[in-house]
Chains A and B, each alone.
Chain A
Amino acid sequence: MKYIDEYRDGTLALSIAATIAAEAAIDRRYRFMEFCGGHTHAISRYGLEDLLPANVTMVHGPGCPVCVLPVGRIDDAIRLAMRPEVTLCTYADLLRVPASGGTSLLKAKAAGADIRMITSPLDAVLMAEAEPAREVVFLAIGFETTTPSTALSIDLAHKKRLGNFSVFCNHVLTPPAIRAILDTAHLPPDERVQIDGFIGPAHVSTVIGTEPYRALCAQFAKPVVVAGFEPLDVLQAILMLVRQMNAGHYRVENQYIRAVTATGNRLAQSAMAEVFAMRDTFEWRGLGQLPHSALRLSDAFAAFDAERRFCVVPVAAADNPACECADVLRGLKKPADCKLFGTTCSPEAPMGSCMVSPEGACAAHWTYGRFRDRIPARAAA
């Protein structure tokens, strides 16, 4: 597969890893956060941490839209789906996320709610067109990678004059989340994560460009390297971060030059600006209430806003008190540090969203990496 296989070359990986080991100063620690859940997944799936020297470590970030969605929003979605006239369309990623009272979208579906899995917002629009008797609600999640697609689908529904299509919008923004991770000066020392630099998200950046990270680099004096998704991209980005740290730099660098530009995708940005408006504040699991960090439908498109159409009254829901997703999302704890990990919490019976989403830190560690938690080495055959 072109533009994929060549960036998965194992031999080249070992060589770049050797360079990282050679250039990372022995007496220094290099802690980098990969913001994006897709990078977390790639790091785990390819066993990249095995290739890095001991003093270069990765901290998993909150860039997983499933993971940061608060329980209360899933509860709201389930309540919508339980209405007899509603067909709720959702990405598969959300189906198993635990909601309040031990339920989930999947369990609500088993109990009779009309919940359908889709792989594109376009499917939801076409479904609304094909089934005029149903109220089709699209459960929209995602960072800026996914938001333009939702915008276009709302635009299409508008052009088709559909009266039975609406969106329950949970789109969130990347720069405010990075800021929330970095802005720890007001927190007690034991709640601050030591992060020396970021691997910036790949596909969010194709949309927003690299410009939005400049202010963050300057304010917090941390380098950001925007990296592609393939394992060689991640390794190269780590090398670029090590080099910046060694040189005392804190700039935005673009490793993903084949897909990302400084200014991003103008068409996508204007589609988003037309259809969406900024929420004053939004609750993020793990990061709390963040101002100007999420989107709602603009007034011009109010007719397609499920929250207005169905008078959704947000009911704040508490996470399971023993669940440490909040700390894992901020990089304060590793999955194995959570008491529930592997005991009560597993993919079969997830307690929190970090375990359900395939790119949640806990799910990634469980699926690919938990063998490292035990002490004795495996016996070679």
Chain B
Amino acid sequence: MCLAIPVRVEALLPDQMARVTLGGVSKRVSIALVEDVCVGDYVLLHVGYALTRLDPAEAELTLAMMHQAAVPGMSAMAGAIR
């Protein structure tokens, strides 16, 4: 619910820290809450901690669903009922 921003992991640092960037701005943050973080991953950043990894495939799917939603009358996508 609170402000969490998608940032890119540029480098892994000791003590479960990482250097991340957003549009050219960089920060040192904790990745202790996310498992198996790799350079190139995108994570959600909130108060100095990464909360979760962003899934690129699901992100693409979301955009595709949005484009589908832009056409009225298309049958509702099952939408991830999980």
A58 at interface by CB-CB < 8 Å: no
CB pair B6–A3 under 8 Å, yes or no, is yes
Q: A15 near B: Cβ within 8 Å? A: yes
Our pick among B63, B73, B80 for the contact of A254 (Cβ within 8 Å) is: B80
B66, A265: Cβ atoms under 8 Å? no
B32 at the interface (CB under 8 A from A): yes
Are A254 and B69 also in contact (CB < 8 A) when A121-B48, A152-B33, A267-B33 are?
no
In the complex, chain A residues whose CB is within 8 Å of the CB of B34: 265, 267
Q: Give bound CA distance, A19 to B81, whole Å.
A: 21
A63 — nearest CB in chain B belongs to which residue? B1
Q: Does A122 contact B (CB under 8 A)?
A: yes
Interface positions, chain B 31-82, Cβ under 8 Å from A, are 32-35, 42, 44, 46-49, 51-52, 54-56, 58-59, 61-63, 65-67, 69-73, 76, 79-82
> What is the CB-to-nearest-CB distance from A144 to chain B, in angstroms, rounded to a whole number?
8
Residue A265 contacts which of B23, B42, B52, B73 (CB distance < 8 angstroms)? B52
B24 to chain A, nearest CB (A): 10
Q: Contact: B3 with A210, CB < 8 Å?
A: no
Contacts of B47 in A (CB 8 A): 91, 119-121, 146, 149
Cα(A189)–Cα(B69), bound, Å: 37
Are A145 and B51 within 8 A (Cβ)?
yes
Given the complex, which residues of B lie within 8 Å of A210, measured CB to CB? 82
Docked-complex contact A145 and B58, CB < 8 angstroms: no
B79-A122 in contact (CB<8A) = no
Known: A23-B72, A204-B1. A253 touches B54 (CB 8 A): no
Is residue A268 contacting chain B, with contact meaning CB distance below 8 A? Answer: yes
- How many angstroms from the CA of A236 to the CA of B63 in the assembled complex? 10
List, in ascending order, chain A residues with CB within 8 A of B8's CB. 2
Does B30 contact A12, Cβ atoms closer than 8 Å? no
| Least Cβ–Cβ distance between A232 and chain B, in angstroms | 6
**B59 nearest CB neighbor, chain A only:** A258
- Point out the residues of chain A lying under 8 angstroms from B67, CB to CB: 12
Q: Tell yes or no: B4 within 8 A of A by CB.
A: yes
Minimum Cβ distance to chain A for residue B47 (Å) = 5
A 111-140 contacts with B by CB, 8 A: 119-123
Chain A residues contacting B35 (CB-CB under 8 Å) are 267
Given contacts A206-B44, A267-B33, contact A145 B1 (CB under 8 A): yes
A71 close to B (CB within 8 Å)? no
Please give, as numbers and ranges, the residues of chain A lying within 8 Å of B3 by CB-CB distance: 38
Q: Complex: how many Å from CA A210 to CA B62? A: 17
- Contact mask A215-257 → B, CB, 8 Å, 1/0? 0000000000000110011001001100100000001111111
Residue of A nearest to B78 (CB): A253
Q: Are A119 and B48 in contact (CB under 8 A)?
A: yes
**Which residue, of B4, B52, B72, has the highest number of chain A Cβ atoms within 10 A?**
B52
A350: interface (CB < 8 Å):
no
Closest CB-CB distance, B17 to chain A, in whole Å? 9
Q: Is the CB of B70 within 8 A of A2?
A: no
Cβ < 8 Å to B, chain A residues 18-40: 18-19, 22-23, 35-39
* Contact call B62/A255, Cβ cutoff below 8 A: yes
A258→B79 contact, CB < 8 A: no
Having A38-B1, A148-B33, one finds 5 other A-B pairs with CB under 8 Å, namely A3-B42, A145-B4, A149-B48, A203-B44, A206-B51
Selected A-B contacts with CB under 8 Å, 6 pairs: A2-B42, A39-B1, A123-B48, A228-B62, A236-B62, A258-B56
Contact surface of B with A, Cβ cutoff 8 Å: 1-6, 8, 22-23, 30, 32-35, 42, 44, 46-49, 51-52, 54-56, 58-59, 61-63, 65-67, 69-73, 76, 79-82
